[in-house]
Homo-oligomer: A and B are copies of this chain.
Amino acid sequence: MSTRNATPLDDFVAERLPAWVALRRDIHREAELGFTEYRTVAVLADRLGQLGFALRMGSEVMAGESMRGRPAPELVTRRAASAAEIPGGAAVARALPDGMTGLVAELRRGDGPVVALRFDIDALPVNESADRAHRPAAGGYRSANAGVMHACGHDGHAAIGIGVAEWLADPRSRWSGTIRLVFQPAEEGGRGAKPMADAGVVDDCTHFFAAHLGCGLASGRIAAAATSMLYSTKLDVRFRGRAAHAGGSPHEGRNALLAGATATVGLHAISRHGEGRSRVNVGRMDAGTARNVIADHCLLEMEVRGETEAVADYMEQRAREVIAGAAAMHDVTHEIEVVGQTIGGDADATAADIVASAAAATPGVREVLPVWALGGGEDAPFFMRRVQARGGIATYFVIGADLAACHHAVDFDFDEASIGTGVAVYARVVEQASAAA
């Protein structure tokens, strides 16, 4: 593929890449959890506004009743305040009530297809490595928010989104129609896509594209469609027991911590499914108050996943039985709250072909794969299905990026050159979609 000649787009990417990397690092340093991306949205809105995009945000682009797994109000307040350090940020924060941190930026250029591109922007509750071998630590852009980290590359996604916006606003870009950039909060936990899809932000779209960096695909490789996106359900489980003095009257206690521990072990022991991959994880447990008091409360934050809807249903059903049984074993009560969900999605061959063709035309792309199996879940299918149900086409593709460690690890990092590759591929995808229409 060495024969491809550099185009104006490619020159543009080469020239702008340092700026996008700087943006990525800024967002990385100010990592924000799902539904609290106030500063991040303020930064993005500032840039997109300057580029001439029309902006909608907050309750205009999110159906509040579809929001699950909302953050603590104190955290929302704190992050909203942080937006004020960005020009225009205070106004943005006011426009994002109650954690409604979705942002939609639109640009029109005559008639043509309505192409939606989706970029997720949230970070994870991971405590970033301070080791000097971790580039963000050595480079001074390690997360300033203790316990919150961009450990999945969404900072890169956001930077790609701005890069694409810059090109599409550039007179040299060749497209007509409508471009809609969907900056989605709270992909982690499978929470942000559904409220935006339910608000109708992609209802009139002819094309929908979303992508992820990394996912085990090396730099220079592009996969036109992701398969094996796991169905998942995110659950918060609360056990309530009865406190008592652990020395004097332990029999009067009803041990919620022990119920949670029993449930945890039982959940991980749910049998594999013969018809597809299954997953279960209790990722957080917080229980009890003092060592000499029988614990009267326990919170489990967990998820189940399945390769198919049937497998996912089996896992959720069994998980509910395990939780209820563990509560009964220890004579405590329990509540289960669904706080997030992801579903599987199928790419349209036509949409995947556009990506494959765009990738093949991009310098630095050494290999284009038709499909790539994702191990994780994604909530982009909520958009994909909405578009497909109305006659549009969609795909979720993968932008290869060498990784320093696996996704969600404390020393996760990715090859920042892939931001340029991502911008170039996305830009060509839009141009080709426009040309084909």
A residues sitting closer than 8 Å to B (CB atoms) are 124-127, 147, 188-189, 215-216, 230, 232, 234, 243-253, 255, 257-258, 260-262, 264-266, 268-269, 271-275, 277-279, 281-296, 298, 301-303, 305, 311, 314, 318, 321-322, 324-331, 374-377, 406-410
Contacts and interface: CB of A to CB of B under 8 A. Distances in A.
B189 A292 contact: yes
Contacts of A321: 328-331
B314 A251 contact: yes
28 contacts: A189-B291, A234-B291, A243-B408, A244-B408, A245-B376, A245-B408, A246-B408, A249-B375, A249-B406, A249-B407, A250-B279, A250-B281, A257-B284, A257-B285, A258-B265, A258-B268, A260-B285, A262-B266, A268-B268, A274-B375, A282-B288, A283-B290, A285-B285, A285-B286, A285-B295, A292-B377, A296-B410, A325-B328
A331 B291 CA distance: 25
A329 B259 CA distance: 12
Given A257-B283, A283-B293, 20 more contacts: A124-B293, A126-B289, A188-B292, A189-B291, A249-B274, A258-B265, A261-B285, A266-B330, A269-B269, A272-B272, A281-B294, A282-B291, A285-B285, A285-B286, A286-B286, A291-B303, A292-B408, A318-B331, A325-B325, A329-B329
Contacts of A303: 246, 291-292
Contacts of A286: 285-287
The complex is assembled from copies of this chain, and their number is 4
Given A265-B265, A268-B258, A248 B327 contact: no
Nearest to A300: B291
Given A244-B409, A408-B244, A250 B272 contact: yes
Contacts of A377: 247, 292
A92 B391 CA distance: 72
B258 A188 contact: no
Contacts of A234: 291-292
Q: Which 8 A-B pairs have the closest CB atoms?
A: A248-B375, A325-B329, A325-B328, A247-B376, A246-B281, A268-B269, A261-B261, A283-B291
A246 B279 contact: yes
Nearest to A288: B284
Contacts of A261: 260-262, 264-265, 282, 285
Nearest to A152: B245
A278 to B, nearest CB: 7
A266 to B, nearest CB: 5
Contacts of A330: 266, 321-322, 325
A314 to B, nearest CB: 6
A406 B243 CA distance: 9
B279 A295 contact: no
Contact of A288 (B250, B271, B285): B285
